[in-house]
Structure 1
Amino acid sequence: MQQALKRQGVSIPRLGLGTFRMASNVCQPAVESALALGYRHIDTAAMYANEDAVGAAIAASGLPREEVFVTTKVWHDQLAPRAVPLALEQSLAKLKLDYVDLYLVHWPAPGMDMAATMEAMMALRESGRVRAIGVCNFNLAMLKTAIETISAPLACVQVEYHPFLDQSALLSYLGGKGIPLTAYAPLAQGRAAEDATLQAIGRKHGASASQVAIAWLLEQPDVIAIPKAQRPESQRANLDALGLRLDDADRAAIAALPKTLRYVQPAFAPDWDAVPA
Structure 2
Amino acid sequence: MTIYFEKTYQRSFGTFPLTGQELHDAVLAAAEVGYRAFDTAQMYGNEADTGAALRATGLSRDELCITTKVDIANFSEEAFLPSVEESLKKLMIDQADVLLLHWPTPGGDIRLSLELLQQAHDRGLARHIGVSNYTAQMMHDARAIVDAPLVTNQVEFHPLLNQDKLLTAATETGIPLASYCSVARGEVFKHAIFGEIGETYGKSAAQVVLRWILQKGVSINTMSTNPANIAANFDVMDFTLSSIDMARIEDMTRTGYRIVGKDLVPYAPDFD
- TM-score with structure 2 length normalisation? 0.92
Q: Is the 8 A contact 1:195 1:209 kept in 2?
A: no
Q: How does 1:1-277 map to 2 (within 5 A)?
A: 5-6=1-2, 13-111=9-107, 113-151=109-147, 153-221=149-217, 223-257=218-252, 258-265=254-261, 266-273=265-272
Kept in 2: contact 1:77–1:109 (CA 8 A): no
CA distance in structure 2 between the partners assigned to 1:107 and 1:150 by the alignment: 16
Q: State the alpha-carbon separation in 2 of the partners of residues 150 and 255 from structure 1.
A: 33
- Give the TM-score normalised by the residue count of structure 1: 0.91
Structure 1's 137 and 12: CA in aligned 2 closer, same or farther, altered over 3 A? Answer: farther
Distance 1:147 1:7 in 2: 18
The separation in 2 between residues aligned to 1:150 and 1:237, in whole angstroms, is 37
Report the CA distance between 1:152 and its aligned residue. 5.4
Q: Secondary structure at the match of 2:219?
A: strand
Secondary structure (helix, strand or coil) at the match of 2:16 reads coil
Structure 1, unaligned runs of 5 or more? none
What do the CA deviations read for 1:69-120 (whole angstroms, capped 9, x no partner)?
Answer: 0000011111112211111112112111111101111011223642222111
Contact 1:193 1:208 in 2 (8 A): no
Using a 3 Å threshold, how does the CA distance of structure 1 residues 246 and 11 change in structure 2: closer, same or farther? closer
CA spacing shift, 1:7–1:60, aligned 2, 3 Å: closer
CA contact (8 A) 1:218 1:242 kept: no
Query: 1:11–1:178: structure 2 CA closer, same or farther, 3 Å change rule?
Result: farther
CA deviation digits over 1:35-64, x for unaligned, max 9?
Answer: 121101001111111111211111111111
Bigger drift between 156-165 and 88-97 goes to 88-97
Number of equivalences? 267
SS at match of 1:53: helix
Q: Which runs of 5+ in 2 are unaligned?
A: none
* 2:131/2:150 contact within 8 Å kept: yes
Q: Against the structure 1 CA distance between its residues 143 and 176, is the aligned structure 2 distance closer, same or farther, given a 3 Å change threshold?
A: closer
